[in-house]
Amino acid sequence: MAALRDALLAGEVDLAVHSYKDLPTAAEPGLTIAAVPVREDPRDALVARDGLTLGELPPGSTVGTGAPRRVAQLRALGLGLDVVPIRGNVDTRLARVGGNGKQGDLDAVVLARAGLSRLGRLATITENLDPIQVLPAPAQGALAIECRTGDARSRELAGRLEDATARACVAAERTVLAALEAGCSAPVAAYAELAEGEHGPELFLRASVTAIDGSDAVRGSVSGSLPDAAALGRALAEELLDRGAAELMAVSR
């Protein structure tokens, strides 16, 4: 990500495409997000041995994931799973899942569904995890197309890919993260979606902060108009902080 931004600022490239969830919440001087395209499915996905779902994995099963957010939320489900941190690219992680005649040291891994989709690995998924169980990371499944702020031509071209709903949802989610002063590796989850409100379409935003051992969590939700996306994120973050989110994040570090 840093190398791409350096290339943009140096004029070596005119556009950079990022996984939005990996970008810092602070703006980069001289650069702008020219477009947020239609978002992929933001849910997390389980890839388990023998086609098992999360509820079918026996207690003691070893589940690997690289995100503290997922580790915390999986432990909080109370299923008796042994959730362990793992590293490596998607194929490396998938190769660690045993079963069906394969040798592997894990019973399952949890990954972003969007990443599996973009790599053509959807067939490996044994369950798409409901956000009620495991809430996604802020901006998961979204792309950010970035260019130099003063490059009007690139901004105009990239802007044709803009999806207003995706941008509003991501703005709400990332504002929660920024207001909590948490990084992308913190056990913070946020997910906004378009819902039908009393006076028409509105954003429904959920967020949570979970202790890394799964012993405690604070959760909340708020709804409002799309133009108020950032304000909704700030309001929900303030509510979570009032209920002890900062203490949970401190314990998780």
C-alpha to C-alpha distance for 169 and 81, rounded to whole angstroms = 32
Whole-angstrom Cα distance, residue 247 to residue 12? 44
Question: Taking Cα atoms as reference points, which of 39, 44, 40, 21 lies closest to residue 167?
Answer: 39
Catalytic residues: 22
Alpha helix locations (H) across 79-227?
90-94, 113-118, 152-159, 164-179
Q: CB 171: neighbour CB atoms within 10 A?
A: 23
> Which one, of 192, 211, 172, lies nearest residue 25 by Cα?
172
Half-sphere exposure of 48 (CA within 13 A, CB side): 20
The vertex-69 CA angle with 216 and 100, nearest 5°, equals: 110
Tokens 């840093």 sit at which residue? Answer: 2
State the residue for tokens 């901006």.
Answer: 139
Look up residue 5 and give its amino acid: R
**Residue 185: CB atoms within 10 Å:** 13
Instruction: Round to whole Å and give the CA distance between 95 and 83.
Output: 17
Residue-wise DSSP of 15-45: -EEEEGGGS-SSPPTTEEEEE--PPPP--EE
Do 96 and 124 form a contact (C-beta atoms < 8 A)?
Answer: no
